[in-house]
Structure 1
Amino acid sequence: MLRYLEVLVEEGDYIAARYLAQAWDEGLLGLPKDSATAFEYFLKAANSGDGWSQYCVATQYAQGCGVEQNDELAVFWYQKAADQGVGLAQSNLGFSHEIGRPPLTRAMSEANHWYRLAAMNNVPEGKFNLAQSYRHGKGLPANCGLAHEWFLSAAQDGHSEAAYCAAHGYELGLGVARNWPEALRWYARALELGHAGALKAFECLAWRVDGATETVVRNESARHVSQDICAVITGEQGTLVLLADGAGGGGYGKETAEALGVACQERLTQGVPENFDWADWLEDIDRQLASGGPGGQAAVVLLWLSNGVVSGASVGNSQAWLVRVADVFPLTALQAFRPLLGSGTASVTALGPCLLEGRLVVASDGLWHRISASRIEVCARQSHAAELADALITAARLPNGELVDDVSLIVIAPRSM
C-alpha cells in the first residue's frame, strides 16, 4: 500500500501525496508520527494546487511544526488556500490580517472580509471572530444583535468561547432580549465544551433564576430529640435561611429556636426593606426572648438571599460556607461564639452582603466539629445538593454509624443542567 502510494506521488498524484502526508502526520498505515515527513508530502500536494494541503503547509509554517517557523510563508500559503475557498485558511488569513502577521500590516477591514467568508463556509472560528468584530466595533459598526447571531451560530457548532459569549449576551441582554434560563443553558453548554470560566458564571447566575437552585434540609439527631430548627422560607422578595441550634445544657433551647422561627416568618410577612440590618433585628429579638421568651438559648445562622446577594447575621458555633469554584468562603468566620441568642446580651455578627456563588452550606456544630475543613470542601464538590448533604452527614458519623451530636444541615446549590 505504501509503495503504491509513493509511486503515485512520483507520478504527480497530489491526492496520494495528501493521503501520505496525513498518514505521517497522524501515525496511520503503521507509520510513526513524523511532522517533518508529513510536511514534505503536504508541500508536494500544495505545489500541485491542492487547497487543503496548502492550508496544512501554512499551518505548519505558522506553528513551526515539522519545519522552521516562517510567518511570511505561512501567510503566502494561507492566501493560496483561502483563494480556493478553504474555510479554515480564510479564518486564519483573517486573523493574520488582524494581528499584522508579517509581511502583513494590521487591517481589520481585510480581516473581517476573510472572517465573513470563513463564517459563510460554516467555520466556527470565523463566525466567532466576526461576532467579536461586531460586538466590539472592530473594523465594523458595532452591532450587538449581529454579534449575538454569529456567537450563537458558532456555539451551535461547538465553539466553547462562542457558547460563553452567547450566554453572556442572554444574561445581560446584549443584542437579544434578556433571558436568564437561556443564559444558564448556554453557560452549561460552554462548560461541557471545556470553557474555564463557564462554571463560575453558571453558579452565579443560577442564584438569580427561579427554579435554578435545589435545596436540601437535613436534621439528624443523636440518641435524643433534636434541639435544632432548620428552615428555608421563600417569599416574594427573596429567601430566608435559618439554622437555630438550641443549647441543651440550660433547657428550653429548642423552644427558643422555635420562637426565632416564628419571628422570622413574621418578618417576611411584614416585608424586608432594602439593605435591611439583620444584625440589629436579631439583637432586638434577643432582647425580646430574654425578657419574655421561653428562657432558653440558641446558636443561630440567619441568611437572606435576594437578587444574587447574601446577607444576614449569626451568633454561636454553627457555620455557613460558600463553596465556590476556586475556593471556600466562610461567611461566619468572624462570628462570636457567646453570649448566645436568648441571653439578652447576644454578641451578634453581621454577615455580608456578598455575591452568591457556588454552593451554600449551613450546618450546626455537630457537623463542623467532626469533619476537617478540607474534607468538607471535598464533599461539597458533589454534583447534586442531595449527594452533597449525604456525603457530609456520612462523614460526620462514627465508624458504627452513630452521631456524636445532632447534625442540622441546609444545602442550596445550582441545579445541574
Structure 2
Amino acid sequence: MSSFETAQVVVAYRERSEDRIAVVANGDRTVIVVADGAGGTGDGHIAAETVVRETLANHDAIHSSTGWSRFLSQLDVRVHAGEATAVIVDVRPDRILGASVGDSCAWVIDGPYTTDLTRTQNRKPLLGSQMAKPAPFWHGPLDGLLLLGSDGFFSYAKRDQVTRLVARTDFWAVPRACVDMVRLPSGDLWDDTAIVACRVRQPHVSRRRYSI
C-alpha cells in the first residue's frame, strides 16, 4: 500500500480537455504529473498525453530534482506534436522532489502557510518548443496537503481562499471544490481545469458496534 493517498479531477470547459493527470504509487513513493496542452498549438492534447506517457515510462530511473529537470529537457525534443506545460512531483516519506515548466503549479498547504514549489519555474517556452527551460525544486517531508493543478485553477484562485477551502473541506472533496471555486457566475470555467490533492495516508479507523 502506498504511503500517500490522492484525489483528482479533470473538467473540460469545452468538449475536450487539453489537461492530463497521472498518478503512480509505488510503496513509499508517489509520482504525480499534471500536463496542460497549449490550446493555441492545435495538438496540445497530444503534447500533454506525451508528457504523461513518458513520465510513467521513465519515473523508476529518476531519483533527484535535477534528474526530473533533465528528464523534462530531454522530453522537450521528444514532443513532436503541440506544446504543453508540465509539473512533476515525486513524493517520498523524507522529501518532495520535482521539476516544472509552464504555468501549471504545485503548492504545499500546511494550515495557514503555503509553499509554492513551482515559484521559480519558467512560464515559457513550453515543452515541445525545443527551447523549454525546466526548473527543479526540492522540499522537506510532506506536512499538510500537496495541491497540483493546471492554470485553469491557479490563474484564478487566490491563495488565502485556497487555504481556507482546504481547511474546511474533506480531503476527498478538495479537487471538486477547487474547480467550483473558479467557476464563472454562469457556472462555466475560464479554461480546462485539472486538480490533484495528495496527503500522507491516513490510518483507517474501524467502527465497532456495541449492543446495549
TM-score (norm 1): 0.46
What is the aligned partner in structure 2 of residue 399 from structure 1? Answer: 185
- Whole-angstrom distance in 2 between the partners of 1:354 and 1:375: 24
Superposition map of 1:247-258 within 5 A: 247-258=38-49
Task: Work out whether residues 64 and 97 of structure 2, in 8 Å CA contact, stay in contact via their aligned partners in 1.
Answer: no
Structure number with greater CO (CA < 8 Å, separation at least 6) is 2
- Report the Cα offset of residue 236 of structure 1: 4.6
What is the aligned partner in structure 2 of residue 215 from structure 1? Answer: 6
The size of the alignment, in residue pairs, is 203
C-alpha change, 1:306 and 1:211, in structure 2 (3 Å) is: closer
Superposition map of 1:10-409 within 5 A: 210=1, 213-236=4-27, 238-268=29-59, 270-273=60-63, 277-289=67-79, 293-294=80-81, 296-409=82-195
Secondary structure at 2:53 match in 1: helix
Secondary structure at 1:380 match in 2: helix
Task: Work out whether residues 31 and 89 of structure 2, in 8 Å CA contact, stay in contact via their aligned partners in 1.
Answer: yes
Letter in 1 for 2:25: T
Secondary structure at 1:352 match in 2: strand
C-alpha change, 1:335 and 1:274, in structure 2 (3 Å) is: closer
Cα deviation per residue 1:131-187 (whole Å; 9 max; x = unaligned)?
xxxxxxxxxxxxxxxxxxxxxxxxxxxxxxxxxxxxxxxxxxxxxxxxxxxxxxxxx
- Report the Cα offset of residue 392 of structure 1: 1.2
Letter in 2 for 1:322: V
Structure with the bigger percentage of strand? 2
Task: Work out whether residues 13 and 188 of structure 2, in 8 Å CA contact, stay in contact via their aligned partners in 1.
Answer: yes
Secondary structure at 2:178 match in 1: helix
- Report the Cα offset of residue 304 of structure 1: 0.8
- Report the Cα offset of residue 347 of structure 1: 1.6
- Report the Cα offset of residue 398 of structure 1: 1.2
Task: Work out whether residues 2 and 28 of structure 2, in 8 Å CA contact, stay in contact via their aligned partners in 1.
Answer: no
- Report the Cα offset of residue 403 of structure 1: 0.9
- Whole-angstrom distance in 2 between the partners of 1:317 and 1:276: 19
- Report the Cα offset of residue 274 of structure 1: 6.0
- Report the Cα offset of residue 263 of structure 1: 1.0
- Whole-angstrom distance in 1 between the partners of 2:184 and 2:112: 30
Residues 256-265 or 381-390, more deviating: 381-390
- Report the Cα offset of residue 387 of structure 1: 2.3
Task: Work out whether residues 3 and 28 of structure 2, in 8 Å CA contact, stay in contact via their aligned partners in 1.
Answer: no
Secondary structure at 2:180 match in 1: helix
Task: Work out whether residues 142 and 199 of structure 2, in 8 Å CA contact, stay in contact via their aligned partners in 1.
Answer: no
Residues 369-378 or 243-252, more deviating: 369-378
- Whole-angstrom distance in 2 between the partners of 1:327 and 1:252: 37
Structure with the bigger percentage of helix? 1
- Report the Cα offset of residue 220 of structure 1: 0.5
What is the aligned partner in structure 1 of residue 209 from structure 2? Answer: none
- Whole-angstrom distance in 1 between the partners of 2:96 and 2:16: 31
Larger Rg: 1
Task: Work out whether residues 2 and 29 of structure 2, in 8 Å CA contact, stay in contact via their aligned partners in 1.
Answer: no
Task: Work out whether residues 148 and 195 of structure 2, in 8 Å CA contact, stay in contact via their aligned partners in 1.
Answer: yes
Letter in 1 for 2:95: V
TM-score (norm 2): 0.87
- Whole-angstrom distance in 1 between the partners of 2:117 and 2:48: 21
Task: Work out whether residues 382 and 388 of structure 1, in 8 Å CA contact, stay in contact via their aligned partners in 2.
Answer: no
Secondary structure at 1:283 match in 2: helix
Gaps of 5+ in 2: 206-212
Gaps of 5+ in 1: 1-209
C-alpha change, 1:242 and 1:275, in structure 2 (3 Å) is: closer
- Whole-angstrom distance in 1 between the partners of 2:28 and 2:78: 26
